[in-house]
Amino acid sequence: MENATGAGVTVAPFGSWRSPIDSDLIATETIKLVDVLVDGEDIYWIESRPKEGGRFVLVRHVRGKDHDVTPAPFNARSRVHEYGGGAVLVDRGVIFFTNFADQKLYRQDQEGIPRALSQASHCRYADATVDAIRNRLICVREDHGRPDGAVINAIVAIAFDGIEGERVLVQGHDFYSNPRISPDGKRLTWLAWNHPNMPWFGTELWVGIISETGEIQAPVRVAGSAEESIFQPEWSPGGTLYFVSDRTGWWNLYRYRAERVDVVLVKNAEFGEPQWVFGLATYGFLPDGRIICSYRETGRSWIAIFSDLAAQLLPLDLPYTEVSNLRVGSDFLVFLGGAPDKPSSIVKVS
């Protein structure tokens, strides 16, 4: 092969010629898209950047432009359950995130300087939700500070200002996820499970009443067991609790209302997925109550609109065969999508 200057020729046996494109170059130039979030009309996502030491950076997309939100050296990444996920929550422009280096929970107002809300150096935080009525976050906390080395998981409340001490709301199981507050602020739902189960083998769905003092009262297990996996409990705009269960062998959609569980959508397809990390989502609600959902069937992903009244699932004609992190806005959906002929991308559909 003649070099670029024409000054000489390099000869090498077939297969032994050294390419200028090596694995290091590919790894350092590849940005991984980790999560997708929606706050009003704004879309956020998390990028894992090899050139910054693998730092997880929250990016905001507004009016056609992308802006980094979390400043260096902050790294928006949780280690709860070791696999992490669910490290960021955005609420009306306010950012709450777990920082990888110290695993503390931080608050960042309008692209200002992040400040710590949690103080313990031996705790980790993930999967937060906003309790707007009581000016606090409710999230999963993993405590590594016990003298005997035991790791204790719980659902806790942390005030927006970080001044009040953390309050344990739910404890007693080995693992927790998905604390979610009803639209009227009166009930909390969550998932719980114990060793040796992984969450896709068996989880329990619980609902409790939030008292006037902010405690959880009268908790009731409404679905799930050591043999039934529950995925992504969500409250509808009207206050009905929906969830995905694999009780039939397929992850299908159900709801809990009037103290009973009803099937919503039955199909030989998977509307859930293994919960390796926090924050996974396969469905969401439009303001009128219709459901936008993703599911896997015949070896690929699909996105559809489901109308409860018509009991009809209408697949959308989209060129994406792999879909994850589905979020629903007021009149749009956004997800992480890809296909054999399309790279992994953040996709918005009106």
Total domain count for the chain? 2
Mean pLDDT of 91-104: 97
Task: Note whether 273 and 155 are same-domain residues.
Answer: yes
In a domain, 6, yes or no: no
**Together in a domain, 263 and 292:** no
Is the pLDDT at 294 greater than 70? The verdict is yes
* Residue ranges making up the domain that contains 185: 23-280
Question: Are 192 and 294 members of one domain?
Answer: no
Backbone dihedral region of 250: left (phi > 0), alpha (psi from -120 to 50 degrees) or beta? beta
58: pLDDT strictly greater than 90? yes
7, pLDDT greater than 70:
no
Residue 12 lies in a domain: no
Q: Is the pLDDT of residue 39 over 60?
A: yes
Same domain, 90 and 101: yes
Q: Once rounded to an integer, what is the mean pLDDT over residues 104-110?
A: 94
Which whole number is the average pLDDT over 132-160? 96
Residue 142 zone, left/alpha/beta (φ > 0; ψ -120 to 50; rest):
beta
- Whether residue 121 is found in the same domain as residue 246: yes
CATH number of the domain where residue 88 is located: 2.120.10.30
Tell me which of 311 and 43 has the higher pLDDT: 43
Q: What local confidence, expressed as pLDDT, does residue 4 receive?
A: 45
Q: Would you say the C-alpha torsion 102, 108, 113, 119 has a positive or negative sign?
A: negative
pLDDT of residue 309: 72
Mean pLDDT of the chain: 93
The model's pTM? 0.91
In tens, the pLDDT along 44-53 reads 999 999 999 9
Both 130 and 156 in a single domain? yes
- Is residue 27 predicted with pLDDT exceeding 60? no
The answer to the question of residue 241 being in a domain is: yes
Task: With cut-offs at 50, 70 and 90, classify the pLDDT of residue 5.
Answer: very low
Residues 183 and 44 reside in one and the same domain: yes
Q: The tokens of 1 are what?
A: 């092969």
Query: Same domain, yes or no, for 141 and 268?
Result: yes
pLDDT category of residue 1 using cuts at 50, 70 and 90: very low
Q: pLDDT confidence of 178, banded at 50, 70, 90?
A: very high
Q: How many CB atoms lie within 10 A of CB 10?
A: 9
- The percent of residues in the chain predicted with pLDDT above 70, rounded, is 95
